[in-house]
Structures are given as C-alpha cells and as structure tokens.
Structure 1
Amino acid sequence: MVERRTVAELSIAALAIGVFIAGSYIVSSTYAAPANATNNASVPPSVVPEGGLALVGVIGVFVLFVAAAGLFMYRQDFDDDE
C-alpha cells in the first residue's frame, strides 16, 4: 500500500506542475506577438516583451509555491502511531 506521505507529495507536485503549465499557457496566449505566424511549424512562437516579464512572474510564483509546499510537507506529521 502507498503511504499517505507519498500520495500527498505526488498530489502537491502534480498540482504545482499543472498550475505552472496553465500559467505559462495563459501568458503565452495572452502576450503572443501579433505578427507571429503560428500556423507555420518552422517558426517558433514568440511573445511581446511584457509577456516575457509575465512569464518570469509565473516562474517566480511556481518557485514560491514549491517552496511553500515543501515547508508545509516538512511540518506535517505523517507517522502512524498504531
């Protein structure tokens, strides 16, 4: 059987990754460069400069979320006293 701690760690990690991917997608679609030919597979997608700053913000929020989750997991008591 899988321990509660492992399930909690996997859940928090999956949530963090999901939020990061969603945030990156939202920033990329919101700040897409208007002259970008997105239908051509040889041209990489690009964002306007403000979008780059927003993407750095998403990365910063991800790092802070993972750090807070680590502190939360460290302080939890998962020992089963049976």
Structure 2
Amino acid sequence: MILSRRWSVFLVLAGLFNIGIWPRFGAAIWQDQRAWQGAIGSSTPTAFLWVHAALIAVALTVGIAVGVLGLRGLVAGRRRATV
C-alpha cells in the first residue's frame, strides 16, 4: 500500500496528538478522587483508575503505531521521489 504525503503527515500528526494528550489525561485521572479508595496516590486504586489506565495504554499504543506508519509513509515517499 502506498500512502500519499498528505495522509502520511495526517497520521504523524494524529500519533503526536495521542502521545501529547493521553499522558495529561492520565495525570488528571490519577488526581481524581474516584480513582482511589482513600487518600489520592497512597491508598488502594479503584476500578475507575484501572479501566482508565487500560484505555490510556491502548490509546498510546495505537497512537504510536499510527505515528510510525505515518513516518514510514513519509520515508517511503522520499525514497520514491529520489529514485
């Protein structure tokens, strides 16, 4: 499959967006009282924290994969242009 330069750039930007947004969301979830049974950060985590941690991990994995695909598309496009 050949990606156009436009799609490759879009995928790279989408990957960067995910890498930039989800860690900030994770920090907000960590500070949320619903994530802990007692004191924030020093008590037992709740299902709220675990579910969001799993969602964040999946979103970061997908974001990295999308970004890598975009980068590979850009590199392949440069190779085609120079050949």
Q: TM-score, normalised by structure 2?
A: 0.47
Structure with the bigger RCO (C-alpha within 8 Å, sep 6+) is 2
Flag the structure with higher helix content: 2
